[in-house]
Amino acid sequence: MKVQVCIIGGGPSGLLLAQLLHRRGIATALLEKHPRAYVLARIRAGVLEHGFAALMREAGCGERMDREGEIHHGLLVAHDGRVDRIDLARLTGGSSVMVYGQTELTRDLYEARDRMGGITLHNAEDATPHDLTSDAPYVTWREGDTRHRIDCDYVIGADGFHGVCRPAIPRAVLREYERVYPFGWFGVLSRTRPVSPELIYVNHPRGFALCSLRSQVLSRYYLQVPLSDRVEEWSDDAFWTELRARLPAEVAARLETGPSIEKSIAPLRSFVAEPMRWGRLFLAGDAAHIVPPTGARGLNTAASDIYYLYHALADHYLKGDDAGLEGYSARALARVWKAQRFSWWLTMLLHRFPDSTEYDRRLQRTELEYLFSSENAQRALAENYVGLPF
């Protein structure tokens, strides 16, 4: 089989790129190592910046998002016995975010790909890119005992943090930057009415908490927990009790609780790999960078990679212009690092660090006081939260 672009990884990055390219008549194949049901069972983030939402519409996948997603014009921060609001719309001259689950978005992308008859190969085992520095790269994979091969012009590594594409770049070329945080986020999804129409980020002496939502009948809550905690050790009751203890009293009083639909603990990590291109391999999304979820940048940073890569490949195939491909890594990384900075800053601002000193805690309180006393500081938060321009 021969295609123009072979995409490894059927998460949001790979799917969105495949969809955008397909619409411009560029032939793609998409390899995903898991069955679709497995990919669609993963509960991930749910805040889309407007640039991402625009890209979904451009991919012809925005209809359900626009119907069911919620536009949020602000967010709340509970700290030091107060609740302050960041007015995203006012501070950014009208920008907002779209609250729509990544799981739903991924489903929409798969369905759109099916409708267009795109090549999607699930259960692709041992996907391996070859000859990446030649002008005829190819990808092999296995399905049971049968080995397959796809020839292509370009390979896209959209295979997430644990994928095979980043390690295909020689150690001498690849630079990795990493920070691991000494805690995780325990997330619970429940069929309950959200406690607040807007997200509440909570800085509390017992640890960070977040009240989020998927819809008016589906809530998503998180607690900062030690990395040694196991989901099985946490009963639903224990989760709700701890969440209530971290919320302001008037919010805790109206918290609706119910059985959890999904529970998981995720570690927090900041990570960047450079460069994002090696020969004919281009990395995108979690394959190249990870952020802690605090600023909801993960999915959105994947989207900016896809935006640059989509335009670069379209320019190559439709105009014979390779400037976008040549500049992809530097351009994507410039925005990636800004998302790293913002996610790190918000994580430092809102969490309790086990090894922090009195000095560190005073500094954190001062940072929060400064934030809510300065319109400029709030604007800096807001412009990052709604998404820096692509």
Rule CB under 6 A: which of 264-293 touch ligand PHB?
A: 293
Partner whose footprint covers residue 12, from ligand PHB, ligand APR, none (CB < 5 to 8 Å by kind): ligand APR
Q: Closest separation between CB of residue 343 and ligand PHB, Å?
A: 9
Complex with ligand APR: residue 91 or 129, whichever CB lies closer: 129
Q: First-to-last CA distance in the chain?
A: 34
Residue nearest ligand PHB by beta-carbon distance:
212
Q: Closest separation between CB of residue 35 and ligand PHB, Å?
A: 23
Among 92, 196, 294, 301, binds ligand PHB (CB under 6 A): 294
- Of 389, 291, 380, nearest to 340 by C-alpha is 291
Please, which residues have CB within 8 angstroms of residue 360's CB and are 6 or more apart in sequence? 353
Distance CA 385, CA 379 (A): 10
Complex with ligand PHB: residue 154 or 181, whichever CB lies closer: 181
Partner whose footprint covers residue 34, from ligand PHB, ligand APR, none (CB < 5 to 8 Å by kind): ligand APR
Complex with ligand APR: residue 291 or 325, whichever CB lies closer: 291
Structure tokens at 9: 């990884």
**DSSP for residue 319:** I
Q: What are phi and psi of 243, to 5 degrees?
A: -60, -45
* Residues found near ligand APR in the complex (CB under 6 A): 8-14, 31-34, 39, 44-45, 102, 124, 127, 158-160, 163-164, 285-286, 298-299, 302
Residue type, 324: G
Residue type, 152: C
Q: Closest separation between CB of residue 275 and ligand PHB, Å?
A: 28
Among 165, 296, 303, 336, binds ligand PHB (CB under 6 A): 296
Partner whose footprint covers residue 207, from ligand APR, ligand PHB, none (CB < 5 to 8 Å by kind): none
- C-alpha triplet 35, 41, 44: angle, nearest 5°: 120
Instruction: Tell me the site size for ligand PHB, rule CB under 6 A.
Output: 10
Rule CB under 6 A: which of 220-249 touch ligand PHB?
A: 220
Complex with ligand PHB: residue 13 or 294, whichever CB lies closer: 294
Complex with ligand APR: residue 54 or 89, whichever CB lies closer: 54
Distance CA 157, CA 302 (A): 12
Q: Closest separation between CB of residue 293 and ligand PHB, Å?
A: 4
Rule CB under 6 A: which of 16-75 touch ligand PHB?
A: 45-47
Complex with ligand APR: residue 271 or 372, whichever CB lies closer: 271
Structure tokens at 73: 């014009």
Complex with ligand APR: residue 126 or 256, whichever CB lies closer: 126
**DSSP for residue 192:** S
Q: Closest separation between CB of residue 369 and ligand PHB, Å?
A: 22
Among 192, 196, 212, 364, binds ligand PHB (CB under 6 A): 212
Complex with ligand APR: residue 11 or 207, whichever CB lies closer: 11
DSSP secondary structure letters along 91-138: HHTS--EEE--HHHHHHHHHHHHHHTT-EEE-S-EEEEEE-TTSSS-E
Provide the strand spans (E) within the chain.
5-8, 28-31, 47-49, 70-72, 74-79, 82-87, 97-99, 119-121, 125-130, 138-143, 146-151, 154-157, 175-190, 200-202, 209-215, 218-225, 260-274, 277-278, 281-283, 289-290
Q: Closest separation between CB of residue 44 and ligand PHB, Å?
A: 7
Distance CA 237, CA 133 (A): 55
Report the DSSP beta bridge partners of residue 129. Answer: 139
Partner whose footprint covers residue 19, from ligand APR, ligand PHB, none (CB < 5 to 8 Å by kind): none
Complex with ligand PHB: residue 150 or 255, whichever CB lies closer: 255
The residue ranges that bind ligand PHB (CB under 6 A) are 45-47, 199, 212, 220, 293-296
